[in-house]
């Protein structure tokens, strides 16, 4: 998994009962994971195609096959849990559109790409381990504990080989390049997280402000208006300076 922004495993455990609280929610989350894994598979395949190093090509290709299999496993589990989710407004197809390649290898270059993969796999693995523990601890009739355990085991290989590549490059005298790549990836991830939090916070703040406006300010104006111009039946006086005293005035009232 390389495109997911996973929070810390402790946070995953804390929010899991809320996020994974019903079959529909569980199926939707699994479909989301499937889309992310499918997108990762495409990026790894592209990296395998573009690299000149046969050893790296083999690793990237195996990684791509793993991610494609994870996507299938997550999608199959989602459909087992909520079979109707497949046809619910084409939700699955919608997510598939988001299973897109980000062309990370071309954008980042080899060292930064591997640094990105390593950090993302580390977080992905710890997230899946936390979910494994969550589902094993509860009464999980869907075997999701075993599914997450299996996928976390395979993610460990992705963590290991990407970490080894970075360590090898450090030993070969490219420590500064590796350090810069890791720092840039960390910075980009932190910046993206900050933007995501900002978007969520902005959404809630806007709702709160508009709610307050509707509940506090509008009633205030309504009260002032009622005091100044109470509702009453029958004819009303015209505005001051617009009294209608003649037939011509009456004809101009509309």
- Closest distance between Fe ion and the C-beta of residue 71, in Å? 8
Closest CA to 96 of 75, 112, 77, 111: 75
Tokens representing residue 114 in the block: 């591997």
The residue written with tokens 């598979």 in the block is 41
Q: Which stretch binds Fe ion (CB under 5 A): 3-11, 25-33, 148-156, 192-200?
A: 148-156
| From candidates 33, 42, 70, 166, binder to Fe ion by CB under 5 A | 70
3-state secondary structure of 91: helix
Is residue 43 within the footprint of Fe ion (CB under 5 A)?
A: no
| Angstrom distance (rounded) from CA 40 to CA 22 | 27
Q: How many CB atoms lie within 10 A of CB 229?
A: 9
E strand residue ranges, the chain:
none
Q: Which residues contact 137 (CB under 8 A, 6 or more apart)?
A: none
Q: Which stretch binds Fe ion (CB under 5 A): 43-51, 65-73, 131-139, 208-216?
A: 65-73
Positions in 187-226 near Fe ion (CB under 5 A): none
Is residue 1 within the footprint of Fe ion (CB under 5 A)?
A: yes
- Cβ distance to Fe ion smaller for residue 43 or 121: 121
| From candidates 39, 155, 178, 185, binder to Fe ion by CB under 5 A | 155
Is residue 166 a contact partner of residue 178, using CB atoms and an 8 Å limit? yes
Is residue 46 within the footprint of Fe ion (CB under 5 A)?
A: no
Positions in 116-135 near Fe ion (CB under 5 A): 121
- Closest distance between Fe ion and the C-beta of residue 170, in Å? 22
Q: Which stretch binds Fe ion (CB under 5 A): 6-14, 150-158, 178-186, 193-201?
A: 150-158
Rounded to the nearest 10°, the torsion over CA 116, 122, 125, 130 is -130
The residue written with tokens 């997550």 in the block is 74
Q: Contacts with Fe ion: how many residues (CB under 5 A)?
A: 7
Compute and round to an integer the Cα radius of gyration of the chain: 29
- Closest distance between Fe ion and the C-beta of residue 69, in Å? 8
Q: Which stretch binds Fe ion (CB under 5 A): 15-23, 149-157, 230-238, 242-250?
A: 149-157
Residues that bind Fe ion (CB under 5 A): 1, 37, 67, 70, 121, 155, 158
């Amino acid at each position: 998994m390389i495109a997911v922004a996973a929070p810390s495993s402790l946070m995953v455990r804390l929010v899991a009962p809320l996020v994974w609280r019903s079959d529909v929610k569980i199926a939707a989350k699994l479909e989301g994971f499937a889309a992310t894994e499918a997108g990762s598979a495409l990026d790894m395949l592209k990296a395998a195609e573009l690299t000149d190093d046969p050893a790296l090509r083999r690793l990237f290709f195996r990684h791509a096959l793993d991610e494609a299999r994870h996507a299938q496993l997550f999608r199959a589990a989602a459909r087992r849990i909520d079979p109707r989710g497949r046809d619910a407004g084409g939700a699955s197809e919608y997510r598939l559109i988001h299973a897109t390649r980000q062309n990370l290898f071309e954008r980042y270059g080899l060292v930064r790409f591997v640094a990105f993969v390593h950090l993302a796999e580390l977080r992905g693995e710890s997230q899946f381990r936390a979910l494994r523990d969550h589902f094993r601890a509860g009464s999980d009739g869907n075997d999701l504990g075993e599914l997450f355990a299996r996928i976390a085991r395979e993610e460990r290989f992705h963590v290991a080989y990407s970490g080894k590549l970075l360590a090898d490059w450090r030993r070969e005298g490219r420590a500064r390049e590796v350090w810069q790549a890791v720092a840039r990836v960390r910075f980009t991830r932190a910046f993206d997280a900050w933007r995501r939090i900002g978007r969520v916070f902005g959404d809630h703040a806007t709702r709160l402000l508009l709610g307050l406006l509707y509940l506090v300010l509008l009633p205030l104006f309504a009260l002032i208006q009622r005091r100044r111009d109470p509702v009453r039946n029958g004819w009303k006086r015209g505005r001051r300076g617009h009294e209608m005293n003649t037939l011509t005035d009456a004809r101009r009232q509309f």
